[in-house]
Amino acid sequence: MLRPADRAEPVRVAVLGASGIGRYHVREFARAGAEITGILGSSPESAARTADKLARDYNEFGVKPKAFSDLDELLAQDLDAIAIATPHHLHQEATLRALLAGLHVFCEKPLFWHPGMTLADAHVALADLYMAGARERVCVNTSNASFVRALRERGLLPRRPREFTFRLRTTGTDEGADIGIDLLPHALSLLYEFAAPELSSPHTQCEKLFVHSSLNNFKACFRFKVAGDIARDVQCSFILSEYPENSKRMTFKVNELAFERIQRQDDSGMYRVFLKTADEEHEVEDPFCTYISSFLKAVRHGTSMPVSFDTSARILLDSMRLLKAANDSRRQRR
């Protein structure tokens, strides 16, 4: 049950899926001052092993989580929030059940995804989450959008983007169109941060859509259009790649300005993040840490989430539309 807002006590967080990417949630939530009260594993044995390893690895942050393998038992604990880092198909149920228990939710992207899920299915699931309080209490980790804000504050972005190109090469096991559902949220979150004034407009649409997927690549090209204002149109290209032996690289280009994300680890183990241009590097706050800090602030003080749930819902639906276009294109080529 939630404590009153503006309290001095640490925010109590449990992490679902803490043996994979969730271990970084444990580290950064603890580093930001949260109390990691529990973790959820797939079995009692694996949960116990993960809890012991986290306690050893992050002892300096006071991490001593209880181990759970049953979501109901975990949600019955004294918690303020959960962080979801489980496989995509488990996100929807965990998010809804946490909301119904009165908790805040920090969820890895995508918001949810089931193989075979239709747009109609997604709309029903989103309606359930809205009814349970998602607009006030859910944050989806599309933290790269914070790059746009950081660059705008420094006057490094054009006021009117005409072209936006996003390239992401990463390790991973997804293939073909499924690469899109995993990586499109990164691209779309940046695009919608650029196009924030238009995001609430009912007259935005994607036209001249081209989507192509192969075993290790996914590509989408389209025009992001605002009806009645051609000056606001943005030509978009997303080039995404997953392969287990890839070296990771993320770049994006706005009009003629190109940026590359660079991440380095300092002697203390902290990551430092830079956006590199042709001429120089600009250090920015780590997006993941920025989102976690903002999420904890929202839990403590009732402030707004670092990304609105409306935006996260739109990213999910547009990802699914692009995925459908990729599947339709693949069937036509056969």
Residue pLDDT, tens place only, 161-218 = 889 999 999 998 888 888 999 999 999 999 988 876 554 454 456 777 888 889 999 9
Q: In a 3-state reduction of DSSP, which class is residue 149?
A: helix
Cα–Cα separations (whole angstroms), residue 240 to 71, 85, 182, 316, 330: 34, 21, 10, 17, 17
| Banded model confidence at residue 323, pLDDT cuts 50, 70, 90 | confident
334 versus 28: the higher-pLDDT residue is 28
- The predicted structure's pLDDT at residue 172: 86
Whether the pLDDT of residue 123 is over 80: the answer is yes
The strand pairing partners of 13, in sequence order, are 36, 81
Work out the percent of the chain whose per-residue pLDDT is above 90: 72
Whether the pLDDT of residue 6 is over 60: the answer is no
| Cβ atoms within 10 Å of 300's Cβ, excluding its own | 20
| Banded model confidence at residue 2, pLDDT cuts 50, 70, 90 | very low
209 versus 295: the higher-pLDDT residue is 295
Q: Which of 150, 98, 195, 151 is nearest to 289 (CA)?
A: 150
> What whole-number distance in Å separates Cα of residue 230 and Cα of residue 310?
25
CB neighbours of 112 closer than 8 A, spacing ≥ 6?
88, 89, 91, 92, 95, 122, 125, 316
- The predicted structure's pLDDT at residue 325: 83
Read off the pLDDT of residues 241-292 as tens digits, 9 standing for 90 and up: 999 888 899 999 999 999 999 998 877 767 899 999 998 999 999 999 999 9
| Rg value, the chain, Cα | 20
Helices 309-333, 178-194: crossing angle, 10 deg rounding:
130
- The predicted structure's pLDDT at residue 226: 65
Contact by Cβ (8 Å): 164, 235? yes
Q: In a 3-state reduction of DSSP, which class is residue 303?
A: coil
- The predicted structure's pLDDT at residue 204: 57
Q: In a 3-state reduction of DSSP, which class is residue 82?
A: strand
Q: Which of 163, 178, 199, 222 is nearest to 320 (CA)?
A: 178
Number of alpha carbons in the 13 Å side-chain half-sphere of residue 290: 16
- The predicted structure's pLDDT at residue 87: 93
- The predicted structure's pLDDT at residue 200: 47
The per-residue DSSP string of 226-285 comes to ETT-GGG-EEEEEEEEE-TTPPPEEEEEETTEEEEEEEEE-TTS-EEEEEE-SS-EEEE-
- The predicted structure's pLDDT at residue 159: 81
Domains with residue ranges and CATH for the chain: 12-141 (3.40.50.720), 144-333 (3.30.360.10)
Tell me the pLDDT of the chain averaged across its residues. Answer: 90
- The predicted structure's pLDDT at residue 333: 62
- The predicted structure's pLDDT at residue 50: 97
| Banded model confidence at residue 116, pLDDT cuts 50, 70, 90 | confident
Q: Which of 23, 144, 154 is nearest to 86 (CA)?
A: 23
> What whole-number distance in Å separates Cα of residue 46 and Cα of residue 54?
12
Alpha helices in 58-161 (DSSP H): 71-75, 91-100, 119-131, 134-137, 146-153
How does strand 104-108 pair with strand 138-141? parallel
Read off the pLDDT of residues 143-164 as tens digits, 9 standing for 90 and up: 999 999 999 999 998 888 889 9
Q: Which of 97, 90, 81 is nearest to 15 (CA)?
A: 81
- The predicted structure's pLDDT at residue 230: 63
Number of alpha carbons in the 13 Å side-chain half-sphere of residue 266: 7
- The predicted structure's pLDDT at residue 1: 44
